[in-house]
Structure 1
Amino acid sequence: MRDCSNNRRGFDRVLMAVAATFLTVSASSAFAQDTPRSSASELAIDAAIPRPEPANVPPPTASDFKPDTTAALPDAAKPADVKPADVQATEAKPTDAKPTDAKATDAKPAEPSATAKAVEPKPADVATAPATKPADAPKADAPKTDTAVAPPAAAPAPATATAPAAAPAPATAAAPATEPVKAASNVAAEDQPVADKLRDLLANKSLRSFDRKNERAAAEKFYSAREYAPVFTKAGKLTDAGKGVIARLKDAAADGLDASDYPVPDFAAATTPDALADAELKLAASMLDYARQAQSGRMHWSQVSADILYPEHPIDPAEVFTNVTSAKDASAALDSYNPPQKLYKELKKKLAELRGQGDGPVITIADGPALKYVPARKKQAAVEMDDPRVPDLRGKLGVTENADSTKYDATVARAVERFQSSVDLKPTGVLDERTVKALNNPKRDRQIDTVIVNMERWRWLPRQLGAASVGNAYVILNIPDYTLKVMQNGAPVWTTRVVTGKPGQHATPLLTETMKYITVNPTWNVPPSIIYNEYLPALQQDPTVLQRMGLKLERNRDGSIHISQPPGEANALGRIRFNFPNKFLVYQHDTPDKYLFAKDERAFSHGCMRVQNPDQYASVLLNIAEPNQHYTPERIRSMYGSSEVDLKFPTPIPVNITYQTAFVDDAGKLQIRRDVYGRDATMLSLLKNSRGKDLETVVAHAQPSYARPSSSSLPAGVNVAGDNSGFGSSGPNFFERLFGGFGQPEPQPARRGQAQQQRRVITR
């Protein structure tokens, strides 16, 4: 049977302990409020010990009591969020008590009463004020009790039997709050007024220093991250970054740019924060303009012609800010946005030389009789005319040999011939009236302009011309020079002559693409432009002309017509086609018309590029792409036949079709070529007649039309291969015929047993 009396006695003890606890807390509170403080140390102790609001103390439960009545002093004075390190940082006196747990303290406090030992409130049940950092803790002799935030707890004095839970009065709502402390600025005091002005300017929506939204956003982000401190000046004086940027902008002409496009503010006259802040942003805007135009050009290629297509490579304004302002040499960092190619840098040197020749007095060649040099023959000595104008002519043309001689000899005649070529005159070597007039143009402006527009075109090209995995190999074809070079590791590997497109509608386009495979024994799929402009008119005159030429006429599955020529020795593409799929539908290929390569000017094609030695070209490219296969021209020729053979490149090789009317040859001499397509003239007109940022507006040009002529254009009597119903052909469309599927240039292997005309693919 249960002993109810014992349980009753235990419950009575609990009630008595609760009552004693309430009485003790009330008495302690009254004592703490009514008893005056006798010393500053007591005030510091009271201020450091948080006191819970009586209304916030929950009723005790059975878990609040410890069965052991000899338990150590409760740690009711330590709040839950006060760390020992915070307590140790105080300087409370007169006691030396340490804020350790009661069980580990060296100074044993007085034994509390039995009722006081019975109650041990949890720290979590006590509402406390947040502790501040130890460095903010007041010393014991100078307490602060009038703030809304309680200072950190000081080391508590040993509790007494009469006041085991003594605590200071809680902070009152009426106490005035301290003002928030303003964060310290990292901006130097002398630059703070300029920083404040920069903040205001960049916050002003009407600011016009930056013409592009992305550049203004980059400027706002850059200056905000540095608390709007100026970067080009410090204490009103130019920094190294500011000096470097200004030096590069003033020397913009060395890179074929116009320094007036990048105005430099007068920092010497900027003596106020407003003027310094305005000059800071103007210099930043000029810096971004220079970087953008040095990298991408002063005009967009679409302004020049519709048959130009290069990949875009715009600057990142945020990257320009970071790169230039953090560099040891800001001038060199800004200069790095110019093309890095060797051929560009060589043109830059030649531009400096040409301008150097224009210094000093201008040499004028007087009018007079035509001068001519006749070389020696078997029975006749060389004829050297004598004329007092020849010394001036030698000086004008930079001929230093026999500078005072009046003889019009072979050296002078060759110099005249080179000059005539550079100014689009017939290179006869004869000093006639037209040549004298061209020579008297001051400072040889014509050559300088030619070099400048060629430097401009270099900015359109990709910064990385080659494929890194194959030794930076690439193909570069120069239209005005009618040459093609294969480059690897920065040096020419192989060179050949080419035939390019006729001026006008058949001009060879400027582009950058990748060569993906070579076709041996190609089928010629006649481009729609040739079908529409040439073959259909010919069919109107003679419906059998295509058959006599060995061409086959078919209908595509969409109803349009398709004309092709099967592989063979007489094929218009010759024996090899080099495929780099592009929107202009051009490629490089062999030709049966070998005699054209003997001509000096070779603009005869419909836009594609004919290669003089295609078997050598193919072996060079294949040995770069697959060095272990050991291709030779003989091996390529052994593949000649009547079925197509595709040789795929494991790594596509970039093809860059360029227009270099001025370039430096392998001997270091400046070469000038005729502006066969008029590209130089168009660009010079844009540069001279439109200034500054207007050049960057992209002009919409009508793109070449590749629409196929409809079947209704066919005259009566034309034989359409395999056409029984009028629209029965379901073969591939023109793009698929031309490149094996536009966008999918890798043809599929032919099945065994298919007809000989089907494509056979070799992939390695």
Structure 2
Amino acid sequence: MRDRSNNRRGYDRVLMAVAATFLTVSATSALAQDTPRASAAELAIDAAIPRPEPANVPPPTASDFKPDATGALPDTAKVSDAKATDPKTSDSKTSDSKPSDSKPSDNQPTEPSTAAKAVEPKPGDVATTPATDTKSTETKSTETKPLEAPKTDTAVAPPAAAPAAETATAPAATPAPATAAAPAAEPAKEPVKAASNVPADDQPVADKLREMLASKTLRAFDRKVEHAAAEKFYSARDYAPVFTKSGKLTDTAKGVIARLKDAASDGLNPADYPVPDFTAATSPDALADAELKLAASMLDYARQAQSGRMHWSQLSADIQYPEHPIDASEVLANVTSAKDASAALDSYNPPQKLYKELKKKLAELRGQGDGPVITIADGPALRYMPARGKKQAAVEMDDPRVPDLRTKLGITENADSTKYDAAVARAVEKFQDSVELKPTGILDDRTVRALNSPKRDKQIDTVIVNMERWRWLPRQLGAASVGNAYVILNIPDYTLKVMQNGAQVWTTRVVTGKPGQHATPLLTETMKYITVNPTWNVPPSIIYNEYLPALQQDPTVLQRMGLKLERDRDGSIHISQPPGEANALGRIRFNFPNKFLVYQHDTPDKYLFAKEERAYSHGCMRVQNPDQYASVLLNITEPNEHYTPERIRSMYGSNEVDLKFPTPIPVNITYQTAFVDDAGKLQFRKDVYGRDATMLSLLKNSRGKDLEAVVAHAQPSYSRPPSSSLPAGVNVAGDNGSWNSGPNFFERLFGGFGQPEPQPARRGQAQQQRRVYTR
């Protein structure tokens, strides 16, 4: 028994000695880890050296770790500290682990679990890279060799640890500070900016353009709509400049600049479209500023080329043309995308043939034409003496200068004749009138000097104002569905023309309004129908300015003239004349309703058409051959009906007949004191209404942008006179207690609205009626 106790005590002493030895070794190892040798660099080197794994030890399972170890990334600093103080970790760096040190638990599986793979970092990974993929720490074998990173479908494995042989030459990786070693989350990425199509050399200019166009203080564009159009245009191209590339002018810029500098050829003022100096623009700011200034000048040119330097309302209240402003966005897109920017910008000028012919003549007057200059030689005065009855024949002087004179004046008939006949004398008279010489028709020394004068300033100015008036007219003068047919009446030339398919179909003489308050207005309207046997509804201007004062002198004057006076319910006066041979409108009225209450019509006063100057009406236009005019228009709108002048005349009677047009015909009333005739000769006419001088004064002495503003004119107002103003004895149709409640004056004036059929005049009454002035 004693022996057993002694043996037991001896065994206990052996165990205690072993335990003491183990504790001593463990303490020594722990102290070794706390020595100054374990610096950060040395720990990093140690971490990069592969270590042998314990033999025949199954990998750890999830039960060996804290419950939240699978849901969070390991903190690199904490793992490093744990490995520096954990005896197991320290032993693995200095010696092989004993089997007893890593004995598995009874419930540990034989295959590694997914959770264990996700949290087991290798020493090298902890020291050099953030713990983003922990699958690479899975144990592949028990051999002492570097571990291979396993394949994964979810993340790219971190770089494998460097072999031990490379650590002698490769610089050691410095571990990150403990506060930034393991990011909690991936930093937020900045928004990806779309790739710019602007070349690198132009990007500074583009940036400046973006800044300038976004500024509310930008003064390059005078109109908000043009500023907005420019901003939209440049933003669509990432604000890349269009007129420069790498600081040099583009072909587009060269074309635009050439057109602006040649603006005078179209009768425009180049000073209104300044061209910036691109050669002095060396900085992005200067280039951007020049870019926008050129764009603004381009828009100004397009606008004035299309609509005119001055608005027609600046000139007079009796002008009414349709507006046709430019679309700034369309101009920017059209000109900058065209192969020939100059031609694209030039296309905003009037497209009509007569405008282009005036432009050519303007160049010739400025000495830029290619045609030969015809000079009339000095010589005796030439005159034409018309025949005086049967006893004295016409006198036609003969002179060798006459053929040149005919050519210079545009006389194509008998071009080689040396006779100074009536045609030559009339042409000389018109020329004298156009240059403010006494229109005698005699070719004297003053007339020869005027014909040969190299200085044509007055003629140049006249051509320019007429080119300006062409800009007011619609771009499409006619009705496209009937061969672009239209009517054009030129007041100073006293002629009316019917045009179709670009050619003259028919022409006739007209009588127009007298200068002053009875001037024929300028307008564009559509003729919708004609009226045969019209009733003349006297315009208010004639009623209140002429007929009512005449009634004060003679209360029976209207009755004797065959006119009917009525008082409407509102007390206003209405005077009319029934259809008939003596009607002031003649047999036909051509209706194109307008606010000026004017129209074209026949007249019983045929003798006025023989005069050279025919401004005698109250504003309406009297046509010399109305039956032919009506048949021409009807054959255009209804070609299958085969109207003839005889068929029109067969409708003459005492009842109104309206002939409606299936397609309305545009009517353009113009004022052309300078035009090119069919023979290609530049013709000048007397400025009967004095409008050329007024236009020139405005164009030369006013700012261009001010002239574009619309002027509101007060229209004439005719107040109804009190009933007491009518003298006793005046026969008023409505004074028997009934009031006229028929169509209003506008409807009466243009007819065709179902008014009661007028009573025919008594037999013989037409011969006794006096001639009545009409508009």
**TM-score normalised per structure 2:** 0.71
1:594 pairs with 2:606: yes
1:283 is paired with a residue of what secondary structure?
Answer: helix
Matches within 5 A, 1:709-728: 709-725=721-737, 728=739
1:225 pairs with 2:236: yes
1:459 is paired with a residue of what secondary structure?
Answer: helix
Go from structure 1 to structure 2 and tell me whether the alpha carbon gap of 1:599 and 1:25 turns closer, same or farther (over 3 Å shift): farther
Measured in 1, the distance between the counterparts of 2:585 and 2:193 equals 78
Aligned twin of 2:330? 319
Measured in 1, the distance between the counterparts of 2:156 and 2:683 equals 86
1:228 is paired with a residue of what secondary structure?
Answer: coil
From 739, 743, 746, the equivalent of 1:735 is: 746
1:35 pairs with 2:35: no
1:696 pairs with 2:719: no
Measured in 2, the distance between the counterparts of 1:202 and 1:589 equals 57
Go from structure 1 to structure 2 and tell me whether the alpha carbon gap of 1:540 and 1:755 turns closer, same or farther (over 3 Å shift): closer
Go from structure 1 to structure 2 and tell me whether the alpha carbon gap of 1:331 and 1:549 turns closer, same or farther (over 3 Å shift): same
Cα shift at 1:613: 0.9
1:252 pairs with 2:263: yes
1:534 pairs with 2:540: no
Contact 2:491–2:670 (8 Å) recurs in 1:
yes
Go from structure 1 to structure 2 and tell me whether the alpha carbon gap of 1:428 and 1:264 turns closer, same or farther (over 3 Å shift): same
1:673 pairs with 2:685: yes
Measured in 2, the distance between the counterparts of 1:182 and 1:734 equals 69
Go from structure 1 to structure 2 and tell me whether the alpha carbon gap of 1:412 and 1:514 turns closer, same or farther (over 3 Å shift): closer
Amino acid at match of 1:499: V
From 327, 333, 337, the equivalent of 2:348 is: 337
Go from structure 1 to structure 2 and tell me whether the alpha carbon gap of 1:643 and 1:45 turns closer, same or farther (over 3 Å shift): farther
Cα shift at 1:423: 1.7
Matches within 5 A, 1:168-207: 175-207=186-218
From 567, 580, 586, the equivalent of 1:568 is: 580
Cα shift at 1:632: 1.3
Contact 1:373–1:385 (8 Å) recurs in 2:
no
2:456 is paired with a residue of what secondary structure?
Answer: helix
Question: Greater shift after overlay, 454-463 or 433-442?
Answer: 433-442
Larger CA Rg, structure 1 vs 2: 2
From 367, 376, 381, the equivalent of 1:371 is: 381
Cα shift at 1:206: 2.1
Aligned twin of 2:168? none
Measured in 1, the distance between the counterparts of 2:710 and 2:279 equals 38
Amino acid at match of 1:273: P
Aligned twin of 1:619? 631
Cα shift at 1:379: 9.4
Contact 2:743–2:755 (8 Å) recurs in 1:
no
1:271 pairs with 2:282: yes
Amino acid at match of 1:703: Q
From 287, 291, 295, the equivalent of 2:306 is: 295
Cα shift at 1:372: 3.5
Contact 2:306–2:349 (8 Å) recurs in 1:
yes
Cα shift at 1:693: 1.9
Q: Deviations over 1:650-697 (max 9, x none)?
A: 111111000111111111111111100111111111112224322223
Contact 2:490–2:671 (8 Å) recurs in 1:
yes
Cα shift at 1:642: 0.7
Q: Deviations over 1:599-623 (max 9, x none)?
A: 1111110000011111111111111
Amino acid at match of 1:716: A
Cα shift at 1:739: 2.3
1:241 is paired with a residue of what secondary structure?
Answer: helix
From 289, 298, 309, the equivalent of 2:320 is: 309
Contact 1:531–1:709 (8 Å) recurs in 2:
no
Aligned twin of 1:493? 505
1:663 is paired with a residue of what secondary structure?
Answer: strand
Measured in 2, the distance between the counterparts of 1:636 and 1:398 equals 39
Cα shift at 1:478: 0.6
Cα shift at 1:296: 0.5
1:558 pairs with 2:570: yes
Go from structure 1 to structure 2 and tell me whether the alpha carbon gap of 1:373 and 1:601 turns closer, same or farther (over 3 Å shift): closer
Amino acid at match of 1:195: A
Go from structure 1 to structure 2 and tell me whether the alpha carbon gap of 1:630 and 1:716 turns closer, same or farther (over 3 Å shift): same
Contact 1:576–1:590 (8 Å) recurs in 2:
yes
1:455 pairs with 2:461: no
Amino acid at match of 1:747: F
Amino acid at match of 2:753: P
Contact 1:417–1:427 (8 Å) recurs in 2:
yes
Go from structure 1 to structure 2 and tell me whether the alpha carbon gap of 1:755 and 1:677 turns closer, same or farther (over 3 Å shift): closer
Amino acid at match of 1:489: N
Aligned residues: 610
Go from structure 1 to structure 2 and tell me whether the alpha carbon gap of 1:49 and 1:548 turns closer, same or farther (over 3 Å shift): farther
Q: Deviations over 1:391-421 (max 9, x none)?
A: 9x9899799xxxxxxx998899888545313
Contact 2:655–2:758 (8 Å) recurs in 1:
no
Measured in 2, the distance between the counterparts of 1:471 and 1:93 equals 86
Q: Deviations over 1:309-341 (max 9, x none)?
A: 001111111111111111111111100100011
Aligned twin of 1:148? none
**TM-score normalised per structure 1:** 0.72
Measured in 1, the distance between the counterparts of 2:428 and 2:587 equals 42
1:585 pairs with 2:670: no
Measured in 2, the distance between the counterparts of 1:382 and 1:497 equals 27
Measured in 2, the distance between the counterparts of 1:586 and 1:409 equals 41
1:283 pairs with 2:368: no
Q: Deviations over 1:449-475 (max 9, x none)?
A: 111111000000001111111111111
Contact 1:371–1:408 (8 Å) recurs in 2:
no
Contact 1:644–1:757 (8 Å) recurs in 2:
no
Q: Deviations over 1:191-243 (max 9, x none)?
A: 01111221222223222111111111111111122121110110111111101
1:430 is paired with a residue of what secondary structure?
Answer: coil
Measured in 2, the distance between the counterparts of 1:582 and 1:437 equals 46
- Calculate the aligned-residue CA RMSD, in Å: 4.0
Go from structure 1 to structure 2 and tell me whether the alpha carbon gap of 1:537 and 1:655 turns closer, same or farther (over 3 Å shift): same
Q: Deviations over 1:128-154 (max 9, x none)?
A: xxxxxxxxxx855569xxxxxxxxxxx
Aligned twin of 1:548? 560
Amino acid at match of 2:740: S
- Percent of pairs with identical residues: 79
Measured in 1, the distance between the counterparts of 2:409 and 2:588 equals 46
1:694 is paired with a residue of what secondary structure?
Answer: helix
Cα shift at 1:557: 2.4
Go from structure 1 to structure 2 and tell me whether the alpha carbon gap of 1:749 and 1:376 turns closer, same or farther (over 3 Å shift): closer
Measured in 1, the distance between the counterparts of 2:279 and 2:218 equals 23
Measured in 2, the distance between the counterparts of 1:395 and 1:637 equals 40
1:421 is paired with a residue of what secondary structure?
Answer: helix
1:354 pairs with 2:354: no
